[in-house]
Every structure is written in structure tokens, then in C-alpha cells.
Structure 1
Amino acid sequence: MDCLRELEGKRAHDRKRVWVPGPVIVGAGPSGLAAAACLKEKGVPSLILERSNCIASLWQLKTYDRLRLHLPKQFCELPLMPFPPHFPTYPSKQQFVDYLEEYSRKFDLRPAFNEMVLSAEFDRTVGFWRVRTVRSAEYVCRWLIVATGENAEAVVPEIEGAAEFGGEIVHTSMYKNGEVFRGKRVLVVGCGNSGMEVCLDLCNHNAYPSLVVRHTVHVLPREMLGKSTFGLSMWMLKWLPMPLVDRILLLVSRLMLGDTARLGLSRPQLGPLELKNLSGKTPVLDVGTLAKIKKGDIKVCPGIRRLRHNLVEFVDGRKENFDAIILATGYKSNVPSWLKERDLFSEEDGLPRKPFPNGWKGEWGLYSVGFTKRGLLGASMDAKRIAEDIERCWMAEAKHLSSFTCSLFHQS
């Protein structure tokens, strides 16, 4: 134990201390880039710390090839820069990454890559944040912006008998396309947008997918009446109450898609917008998967009871053989593992305690961006609010920071 204390003390002594005059932003995804650009536009410098070796690492390294934005591009653009006019309504994964790269160049955003944050703690004795990274650096700053988002870590559920299964079990973060599963029987666990799209992709690569549907789910057409379902919903909400808009959406969906419950996709009691507003659960926007289910190309299965060698036992007693399992079980926040503050973020799920639109600001100069459960549009709204809030005290505090910093570092 004494050796461990001595080693930790040596690391603390050897740690390089870096003063950051503006905010430190943890995460170089769309949320972090948006916050940095909004700050820069107001004359406030910032430092972005990114654990990976590129911007938008989730998009670049952990998404499947066929991915496109689920919403029209006008609802997904970051502040201060629209998508190029020639981009399609639903940009591809690569087009979105290209857009983010151009966004970084336009605002001269230069994240510090391979800087994984170990801890971030507010030092009340001096009134500054201390952000420590694995590369033995300590960044000292007045403001800290958490931009690691809702999708920082893959959720991998424990399934009884997983060690016995023998076949491949992968999370969608490791799935690129269905080519390696050609001719195989594949069970996809999770019926959100990712699970539905992976099933469709598997069909297109001549695999034989089945889809585990454990809970109720709203499936809506991606477009209604020649307009995007999301855009149409936002327009109707300007004039009509949410429950009425939900009823209209469900009526049109029934006319276009039929009764999804007959396919094993029962709908929740709450309408899609009310459910999204209360729980953050996003409805599935169908891009062709439902037609494959209707044709029998994709089978719908209940929850899993346990696994055996190349065999899945379902909760209804059925047993089927599968060659592989793909977990479309989503992601979670990793904030509780490194942020030593319990006021703004919940320890249970790593999300802001206050619901949208009030979860973007905490105490002691702490902010969050990209945790609204409202996608890129919500992240952009947070980024603008944060920049405006920091700008208000930036000019007043800037004069005092430089003199205080000299004193702080002289003492250390």
C-alpha cells in the first residue's frame, strides 16, 4: 500500500501542468466541435481533449458502412455552417464526416488527440478545474465543458450462456457490413434504428437475420406526405398539442405501414412524441426493414432466455440455431467514471439531472453539451447557450486570470 501511495505521489509530482485560458472541452465529436466553434466566434479560445486519434471517433470508427443521418440535413447541421447544397437530404456517414472535417478547418479547431481524461475535479481552494489525462498532464481551467455525449461506451448486456455459444457475438460498434455474415443465420438483439438497419444490411448481403424485440416500439415512415416525418412533426407542433400530433402520426403510419403489432412490433401506450419527450426513447424511422419483415426475410423473435452451443433459447420456449449474434443494444455515458462532481450529472446514467432544456449548466463553470436526447439539433442549442454564458464573464475575468495564474504556478 505504501508503494502505491509513493507511486501515485511520484505521478502527481511528475505531472505536467498546463494553464488553459479558456474552457477545456472533453470530447471532439459534433458536440465538442460545435461548442468550440461557438466560443471561437465570440472570441473565447478553448482546448478540446479527445481520447481517440480523430474527430467524431464514434462516427468514423464505430458505425456501420450504410449509415445515413436519420433526419434531414437541415436538422443536423452544426451552428454557423450549413451542409453543402449538393449534399442529399439524408447525408451518408462519409459525407457527414467530411462535413465535420471541413467544420474543423473553417474554425481552425485543433483538438489534442490521444488525451484520455482520467479525472476532472473542481479545486475549491483556488477556484479552478483540474483535468488530468493518461499522458501525465494536468490542465487547469476556469470552465469545463463535458462533450463526451450519450454514446461514449457500448452497452453490452450479460446473457446467460454466452460463453457456451461458440459463435461470434459482437456489438454494432464493431459491425461494418453484412459481407462476413453472407449465408449465415444471424440474430440481431435490439429493435431501435441501428438494429433495424443492421437487419436490412444483412438481408442485402444474403444473410438470414432474425430480430429480437423485447419491448414495444414505435415504427414510423421516414417520410409522410412527401415531407420528412420529423420535419412534419415539428411543423405541426407549432399549431397543435403534442397528443393530437401523435394521433395524426399514428393514423398516417397505420395507413402507410399497416398494423405493426401483427408483425411482432407492438406500439407503446404513449404516442411517439410524448414517449420521446418523457423518456428520450426515439421512434424507429423505417428505411425498408419493415417490408423485409412482411416478406419473411427477417424473422421477429421474443427476448432471449439463455444461450447454448450455437443455440438460442427464447423466453417463449422456442429454440433456434444461429451462427452469430449482433448486439444492437445501444450506448451509454461514461461521465461518472471520470468527472468528480455529482451535482450536474447523475451517477446512475451519467446524464444531466435536469431535463432538457435546463441540463446544460452546472456549478463552478461546469457545462454539458450533447446530452439532450435530441440529437444534433439539441447539441447545437446547448453549444450556443454555453458560448453566450461564458462570453458574459470572459471579458470581466480575463484581466484577473493572468495575474492569478502566475501566482498559482509559482506556488506549485
Structure 2
Amino acid sequence: MDEHRYAVIGAGPSGLAAARALQKAGIEFDGFEASRGVGGLWDIENPRSTMYESAHLISSRTTTEFTEFPMDSDADYPSHRTLIAYFRQYADHFGLTDRFRFQTRVTAVERHADGAWALRAEGPDGPIERRYTGVILANGTLAEPNVPSFRGEFTGELLHTSAYKSATQLTGKRVLIIGAGNSGCDIGVDAVHHAASVDMSVRRGYYFVPRYLFGRPSDTLNQGKPLPARIKQFVDTRVLKAFTGDPVRFGFPKPDYRLYESHPIVNTLMLNHLGQGDLGIRADVDRFDGTTVHFRDGSSGEYDMVLLATGYTLDYPFVARSELNWSGYSPSLFLNIFPPSFNGLYVMGMIEASGIGWQGRYEQAELVARYLAALEHHPEAAAAFRRRVLEDPWPDLTGGYRYLGLERMSYYVNKDAYRRAVRVATQSLHTERHAAAPGHGSAQRTADRPKRTRRPAATPGTAS
């Protein structure tokens, strides 16, 4: 290829972060987005969006926004309407909107023998095929519904929460929500005001974190001063009991894990409604029988609608799994970004973490941009970076937490440990570039370093 040019797939927060970092680094790229514009899932009119009318941020504005572009809002927890406007403003302000082809769905990304990548897509004007030095995958992690199978058949209305848009869908119905994640609890609160009745089926206990503590957004407390995992768990568990009480008294099972070992629920309105008797907690589902749902504790109930709040599964449908070093529930990537083969694919946004925000994703993008710039202008620094990834132990991204070995936790990281590791990796490229300059002899010293055996790569974030 005459020039190094990259493709960015997706114009949600991670895709915009990638585009901005490449722009700042002077790296040429083309963006592709299946929907009508920027914003990804935050655009409720995007056909692949999983947004619903009552959705708001569950992390606070100041811990979530891009640092170089503060949000024009005073709300601590803005709605999806504010957020889609924010992403459009961000893209327009930095001249990113025109860098994307909209309503253009990528159908295949395949590697040529010479290492370049062929990208095929379907756009408004027909098929597109382009050749790129590399491809940044930023198509999101919350678009492909995880739909479990159940014994029997439910003859009422069975929906995944990805198909839920408005509380009017619940009006007058007997509703069962299966799963109690943040979306499930949001919809449960909606249902209280619209449904004839609402129950929630759960299989494990949860920790509920209030949005405000001591008059401030709870995730703004203790910023920049992370406590060791066990101390934070000890302190915060007691703070939560003082502010929210024990969810077990409302019918939830007792959690069989410590706080922060699974994503907490940022919705204490659910507990308020449970205390008022507005909804009920049921055991895990055993089987369906017409409109009857049988639960594992031997009880049963009659329902018109079952909503599956069962989360999402990772999906990169246009590229072979082998190219992403897929292992278990998710790809096994260095810093959840780089395949160990360094084949020219880079994954943006494959991180879940309480409080990491879009700035954490932008720091990912800066690392990718720094590496791509090194490939072109300082190949010896890029080579040294790859050697470290292949030879050295990968950093621990858990922050000392023993995350549950669930599918949705397979790419979960601790925000402080992750951002620290990304900063170290970014700085290492800067250091290698200068150390490898004429007269420093770094390349020879690196080549002479004895190899160290790296531990077998585990899926980052799974329970140990």
C-alpha cells in the first residue's frame, strides 16, 4: 500500500475516541457506521440500539465525559437524549462526523497474504470494498442479546430487554422480568407505574449502590485515591448497609461474592418499590407452561409478558474468531486491545468497569494511535513493544478483585488498574522511541535480553 490507512468500525463512544486519537496523531482513517449517525447505542432510533426512554447514565457525568470536551449539562446523571446530543456535538466540534460513512454495514474483514486487510461493506449506494493497513473494531459490546433457553414454552409475549423502548409496552400487563442487572431494575421501576403487576426472577444476590452518598454522586468520592481491594470492600459494604439496608430483607438471595466482584446495581429506587410492595422477587425460572412460569422453589405465577434482562454477548460477526484470539467467552487480548499475533486488528471498548468512563476508552485509543504512529515512523519502538507483550507477563487488570466467572464479566477490569496499565504501555512506546534513537543502542539491548516465559493467557477479568 502507498500509505498507511486504517478503518474504524463503529461511531459510538469508542469509535469516536478512536477517530479523535487517530486524527490527533495524523493517521489516515475511514470510519464506517451502520446507523444514520454518531452515538451508537445512545441513539434510540438506531435500529441496533438497546436504549429505552427512561435510560440515564449510571455513572456520573464528570467521571464519564471526555476530558477535552466537557458535557454541556448540569445533570449529574444525564438522560440518553442529552448524551446523543453530546456525541453529535463532540463529533462536529472535532470534525469527525464527515470522516464516517453512515448507513454502511461492514459485512467482512479478511486478511490478505501480504498482511493488509480487505473490508467489505454494504452502503446506500451498493457494495464497498476497501484495502487497509489495519482495522479498529469499535462496534460495541451491548448490541447482541444473550437469550437463554428455558424448558417448556411461554405462550405470552417473550422479549429481550433490547426490544424494550417505552413503558407503554407494559401497560396493563402482568410482567415477569428475568434478571436484575441495571437495565432490568430500570425497567422494573418503569413497570411499577404501568404494568398490572411486576415480579423479578433472580438466581443470585446483588449489591445496590445509591447514586448519591453524602450529597454527592457516589462515584465521585475517593477519586484518585484508590484503596486496596479488600479495604474498599470492607468499608463500602458497611457504608451501603447504612444507606440502603440489606437487600435480603426484600427477598433477594444473599450474595455469594464480595462487593465489586460483579457489577453493582446503581438503582436504589428498586429497593424503595420492594419496600412499598409494588413488585415481588421470585426464584430462578424452572420452566414455562403456557402463560404459567414455574420457579425452582416450587412456586409459580401467571404472566402476560416475560422480559429477559439477561445481558448481551460479544459479537464481532464480520471477522474470524481465530484472528481475535478468542478464548472462552471473549477474545484474549493484551489490555483487551491487541491480539498477541499483532495482525493489524485492534479492539476498542471491549472493557467493562465501574467508573472507567469514555475517557478510559479514549486512553485506549491514544495507546493504539501511539503504536500505529510507531509502526510507521519508529518501527524499532513498535517491535520492542510487541516483544514485551509476547515475552513479559501481562499486567493484572483486576485490581485485586476476584471477579465472578460469568460471560458478562469475562472482559471486566478494575478502572484504576486498567488505566494505570494503559498509561504504562503508552509511556513505554514513547520511551522506546527515544531510547532507540541513533546513539542509544536500545534495539540491541532489547534483542539481547533473555526471553522470559509468559504465564498462559487467561481471559482477562475472569475469576481466579
TM-score of the aligned structures, taking structure 2 as reference length: 0.73
Judged with a 3 Å threshold, the aligned counterparts in structure 2 of structure 1 residues 183 and 292 are, in CA distance, closer, same or farther, namely: same
Shift of 1:394: 3.9
Match for residue 319 of structure 2? 339
**Residues 202-241 of structure 1: CA deviation (Å, up to 9, x unaligned):** 112354211111122222222222232222254551xx31
Match for residue 401 of structure 1? none
SS at match of 2:172: coil
2:301 to 320, 326, 335: 320
Q: 2:22 aligned with 1:34, yes or no?
A: no
Give matches, 1:41-52, under 5 Å.
41-52=24-35
Shift of 1:307: 1.2
Match for residue 455 of structure 2? none
Give matches, 1:73-88, under 5 Å.
73-78=61-66, 80-84=68-72, 86-88=73-75
Unaligned runs of 5+ in 1: 1-17, 276-280, 398-412
Bigger RCO (CA 8 Å, 6+ sep): 1
Judged with a 3 Å threshold, the aligned counterparts in structure 2 of structure 1 residues 81 and 394 are, in CA distance, closer, same or farther, namely: farther
Judged with a 3 Å threshold, the aligned counterparts in structure 2 of structure 1 residues 183 and 31 are, in CA distance, closer, same or farther, namely: same
Judged with a 3 Å threshold, the aligned counterparts in structure 2 of structure 1 residues 234 and 268 are, in CA distance, closer, same or farther, namely: farther
Q: Is contact 1:44–1:394 with CA below 8 Å preserved after alignment? A: no
1:310 to 267, 278, 291: 291
Q: Is contact 2:21–2:362 with CA below 8 Å preserved after alignment? A: no
Match for residue 142 of structure 1? 133
SS at match of 1:157: coil
Q: 2:96 aligned with 1:116, yes or no?
A: no
Judged with a 3 Å threshold, the aligned counterparts in structure 2 of structure 1 residues 160 and 19 are, in CA distance, closer, same or farther, namely: farther
Match for residue 352 of structure 2? 373
The alignment covers a number of residue pairs equal to: 364
Shift of 1:262: 2.0
Q: 2:201 aligned with 1:222, yes or no?
A: no
Q: Is contact 1:25–1:146 with CA below 8 Å preserved after alignment? A: yes
Q: Is contact 2:175–2:306 with CA below 8 Å preserved after alignment? A: yes
1:388 to 333, 354, 370: 370
Match for residue 148 of structure 2? 157
Shift of 1:345: 4.1
Q: How many Å separate the matches in 2 of 1:79 and 1:20?
A: 31
| Structure 1 counterpart of 2:139, one-letter code | T
How much is the aligned-residue C-alpha RMSD, in angstroms? 2.3
1:171 to 160, 163, 167: 160
SS at match of 1:108: coil
SS at match of 1:261: helix
SS at match of 2:119: strand
TM-score of the aligned structures, taking structure 1 as reference length: 0.82
2:43 to 35, 60, 71: 60
1:256 to 243, 258, 267: 243
**Residues 24-79 of structure 1: CA deviation (Å, up to 9, x unaligned):** 01111110011101111222232111223332342223211111100111221135
Q: Is contact 1:69–1:90 with CA below 8 Å preserved after alignment? A: yes
Identity %: 28
Match for residue 336 of structure 2? 359
Q: Is contact 1:20–1:46 with CA below 8 Å preserved after alignment? A: no
Q: 2:232 aligned with 1:245, yes or no?
A: yes
| Structure 2 counterpart of 1:156, one-letter code | V
